[in-house]
Amino acid sequence: MDPLAAIKVTFFQECEEQLAELEGGLLAMEGGDHDPEIVNAVFRAVHSIKGGAGAFRLEDLVRFSHAFETALDLIRSGDIPADQETLKLLLRSADVLADHVRAARDGGTVDEGRSGSMAEALKALASGVDAGEADTGDGFGDFVFTPVTIDIAEPATAPDLSIDDLLARVTAEVAPADAPPAEADSVWHIRFYPQVGLYQKANESGLLLRELARLGSIKVGLDVSGLPTLQNMNPEDAYLGWSVELSGPALEEQVIRDVFEWVDGDCYLDIVREGAPPASAPAASIDAVGEVDVMALIRAAQAAEVPGAGPAPSATTDLAVRAEPSKPREAVPDAKAQAAAREASPQTIRVDLERVDRLIDLVGELVINQAMLAQRVAECGLQRASSVAVGLDDLEHLTREIQDSVMAIRAQPVKSVFQRFPRLVREIAAMTGKEVRLIMDGEGTEVDKTVIERLSDPLTHMIRNAIDHGLETPDEREAAGKPREGVVRLAALHRSGRIVIEISDDGRGINRPRVKQIAVDKGLISPEANLSDDEIDNLIFMAGFSTAATVSDISGRGVGMDVVRRSIQSLGGRINISSRPGQGSTFTLSLPLTLAVLDGMVVTVAGQTLVAPLTAIIESLQPKAADVRNLGPNGQVIAIRDTHVPLIDIGRSLGYRTVTPPPTEGVALLVEGEGGNRAALMVDAIQGQRQVVIKSLEANYRPVPGIAAATILGDGRVALILDIDAVMVPKPHEGQATSPISLAGGFDLSAVPMSLAKVG
Stretch touching other proteins by CB under 8 A, among 81-89, 152-160, 585-593, 604-612? 152-160
Contact 226, 232 (CB under 8 A): no
- Tell whether residue 1 is a contact of other proteins (CB under 8 A): no
By beta-carbon proximity to other proteins, the closer residue of 329 and 384 is 329
Residue type, 188: W
Shortest gap between Cβ of 333 and other proteins (angstroms)?
Answer: 7
**5, 36, 132, 146: which one binds other proteins (CB under 8 A):** 146
Stretch touching other proteins by CB under 8 A, among 1-9, 407-415, 630-638, 733-741? 1-9
By beta-carbon proximity to other proteins, the closer residue of 47 and 508 is 47
Shortest gap between Cβ of 31 and other proteins (angstroms)?
Answer: 20
Strands laid side by side in the 290-291 sheet? 267-273, 186-194, 241-248, 217-223, 290-291
Could you say which DSSP state residue 467 is in? I
**36, 113, 328, 633: which one binds other proteins (CB under 8 A):** 328
- Tell whether residue 55 is a contact of other proteins (CB under 8 A): yes
Shortest gap between Cβ of 143 and other proteins (angstroms)?
Answer: 4
Q: Give which of 634, 695, 469 is closest to 560, Cα–Cα.
A: 469
Residue by residue, DSSP assigns 166-183 as HHS-----B--TT-PPPS
Q: Give which of 146, 161, 292 is closest to 224, Cα–Cα.
A: 292
Shortest gap between Cβ of 26 and other proteins (angstroms)?
Answer: 17
Binding mask 340-379 for other proteins (x = CB under 8 A): -xx-xx-x--------------------------------
Stretch touching other proteins by CB under 8 A, among 333-341, 358-366, 377-385, 515-523? 333-341
By beta-carbon proximity to other proteins, the closer residue of 330 and 352 is 330
Shortest gap between Cβ of 65 and other proteins (angstroms)?
Answer: 10
Stretch touching other proteins by CB under 8 A, among 10-18, 168-176, 699-707, 723-731? 10-18
- Tell whether residue 5 is a contact of other proteins (CB under 8 A): no
- Tell whether residue 541 is a contact of other proteins (CB under 8 A): no
**10, 117, 375, 630: which one binds other proteins (CB under 8 A):** 10
Beta-carbon contacts of residue 417 (< 8 Å; ≥ 6 apart): 452, 453, 455, 456, 459
- Tell whether residue 136 is a contact of other proteins (CB under 8 A): yes
**70, 86, 115, 203: which one binds other proteins (CB under 8 A):** 203
Shortest gap between Cβ of 706 and other proteins (angstroms)?
Answer: 47
Number of residues that bind other proteins (CB under 8 A): 70
**5, 106, 132, 148: which one binds other proteins (CB under 8 A):** 148
By beta-carbon proximity to other proteins, the closer residue of 77 and 664 is 77
By beta-carbon proximity to other proteins, the closer residue of 43 and 192 is 43
- Tell whether residue 280 is a contact of other proteins (CB under 8 A): no
Give the integer Cα–Cα distance in Å for 289 and 533.
101
By beta-carbon proximity to other proteins, the closer residue of 336 and 641 is 336
Give the integer Cα–Cα distance in Å for 537 and 307.
77
Residue type, 127: S
Give the integer Cα–Cα distance in Å for 514 and 517.
5
Shortest gap between Cβ of 242 and other proteins (angstroms)?
Answer: 16
- Tell whether residue 298 is a contact of other proteins (CB under 8 A): yes
β-pairing, 485-495 vs 435-441, is parallel
Strands laid side by side in the 628-631 sheet? 617-621, 667-672, 678-683, 643-649, 635-640, 628-631
Give the integer Cα–Cα distance in Å for 576 and 515.
16
- Tell whether residue 204 is a contact of other proteins (CB under 8 A): yes
Give the integer Cα–Cα distance in Å for 346 and 377.
43
Shortest gap between Cβ of 35 and other proteins (angstroms)?
Answer: 13
State the CB neighbour count (10 A cutoff) for residue 700: 12
- Tell whether residue 332 is a contact of other proteins (CB under 8 A): yes
Shortest gap between Cβ of 112 and other proteins (angstroms)?
Answer: 25
**211, 270, 427, 443: which one binds other proteins (CB under 8 A):** 211
Give the integer Cα–Cα distance in Å for 265 and 527.
91
- Tell whether residue 54 is a contact of other proteins (CB under 8 A): yes
Give the integer Cα–Cα distance in Å for 574 and 568.
6
Expressed in angstroms, the distance from the first to the final Cα of the chain is: 26
For residue 50, the Cα-to-chain-centroid distance in whole angstroms is: 19
- Tell whether residue 145 is a contact of other proteins (CB under 8 A): yes
Give the integer Cα–Cα distance in Å for 341 and 41.
13
Kindly provide the residue ranges of all beta strands, DSSP E only, lying in 249-359, ordered along the sequence. 267-273, 290-291
Contact 247, 216 (CB under 8 A): yes
For residue 324, the Cα-to-chain-centroid distance in whole angstroms is: 50
Residue type, 532: S
- Tell whether residue 339 is a contact of other proteins (CB under 8 A): no
State the CB neighbour count (10 A cutoff) for residue 351: 10
By beta-carbon proximity to other proteins, the closer residue of 156 and 626 is 156
- Tell whether residue 150 is a contact of other proteins (CB under 8 A): yes
Binding mask 301-320 for other proteins (x = CB under 8 A): xx-x--xx------------
Give the integer Cα–Cα distance in Å for 513 and 495.
33
Judged on CB neighbours under 10 Å (0-12, 13-18, 19+), 474 is: middle
Shortest gap between Cβ of 268 and other proteins (angstroms)?
Answer: 17
Give the integer Cα–Cα distance in Å for 757 and 760.
10
Stretch touching other proteins by CB under 8 A, among 147-155, 379-387, 399-407, 414-422? 147-155
By beta-carbon proximity to other proteins, the closer residue of 254 and 736 is 254
Stretch touching other proteins by CB under 8 A, among 2-10, 525-533, 565-573, 655-663? 2-10
- Tell whether residue 329 is a contact of other proteins (CB under 8 A): yes
Partnered with residue 639 across adjacent β-strands are 644
Give the integer Cα–Cα distance in Å for 594 and 476.
42
State the CB neighbour count (10 A cutoff) for residue 577: 19
Binding mask 222-261 for other proteins (x = CB under 8 A): ---------------------------------------x
By beta-carbon proximity to other proteins, the closer residue of 24 and 673 is 24
- Tell whether residue 174 is a contact of other proteins (CB under 8 A): no
Give the integer Cα–Cα distance in Å for 727 and 654.
8
Residue type, 643: T
Stretch touching other proteins by CB under 8 A, among 109-117, 206-214, 426-434, 662-670? 206-214
- Tell whether residue 153 is a contact of other proteins (CB under 8 A): yes
CA–CA distance from 193 to each of 208, 209, 243, 247, 279 (Å)?
Answer: 12, 12, 9, 20, 15
Stretch touching other proteins by CB under 8 A, among 103-111, 139-147, 164-172, 378-386? 139-147
State the residues that interact with other proteins by CB under 8 A: 3-4, 6-7, 10-11, 13-14, 37, 40-41, 43-44, 47-48, 50-52, 54-55, 136, 139-140, 143-155, 199-204, 206-208, 210-211, 261-262, 265, 298-299, 301-302, 304, 307-308, 326, 328-333, 338, 341-342, 344-345, 347
